[in-house]
Amino acid sequence: MVKLKVFDVEKKAILIDNTKDNPNNLDTISINIIDFDGEVYILKTLVYPDLNLMEVLRNAEFHMGHCGGMALCASCHCYIEKDNIKLIDISSEEEDMLDQLFTFNQTKSRLICQIPLEKSLDGINIRIVKD
């Protein structure tokens, strides 16, 4: 187990490696996640085309994605620490949904179903917010 610092939490991280089967030689990235119960995970995933960040986490059995990724349910609301990672801009649909959340944080809140999976997300820090 690796000790990982995500946001202000430093804890032993559970590794989820979903990269073993890679016949198409896709890029691999690593995502650091704190679940809302405080558990820390390192999720290694292939950069599949046409997937978003919510789908990758849902496939790894994180409980989210009720609306299928339409920015309508906020089950995928996360705080994101960007560092040097440039994220796609917030659309008005995403802003509308975020606006309903009391846990909304001006600088960190995103609905991760609106963030396409890309190589540039490697090393991103995500904290899943309990609705």
Ligand X SMILES: Cc1cc2nc3c(=O)[nH]c(=O)nc-3n(C[C@H](O)[C@H](O)[C@H](O)COP(=O)(O)OP(=O)(O)OC[C@H]3O[C@@H](n4cnc5c(N)ncnc54)[C@H](O)[C@@H]3O)c2cc1C
CA angle 21, 64, 3 (to 5 degrees): 65
**Residue 71 binds which entry of other proteins, ligand FES, ligand X, none, with Cβ cut-offs from 5 to 8 Å by kind?**
ligand FES
Interface with other proteins in residues 1-30 (CB under 8 A): none
User: Residue type for 13, please?
Assistant: A
Interaction of residue 37 with other proteins, rule CB under 8 A = no
Of 1, 10, 36, 63, the residue at the interface with other proteins (CB under 8 A) is: 63
Interface pattern 38-57 for ligand FES (x via CB under 6 A): ----------------x---
For 117, residues 6+ apart whose C-beta sits below 8 A from its C-beta are 45, 47, 48, 51, 52, 53, 55, 56
One of 2, 20, 102, 107 touching other proteins (CB under 8 A): 102
Q: Output the 3-class SS for 41-89.
A: EEEEEECCCCCEHHHHHHHCCCCCCCCCCCCCCCCCEEEEECCCCCCCC
The contact set with other proteins (CB under 8 A) reads: 61, 63, 66-67, 70, 72-75, 92, 95-96, 99-103, 131
Binding stretches for ligand FES (CB under 6 A): 54, 65-67, 69, 71-76, 97, 111, 113
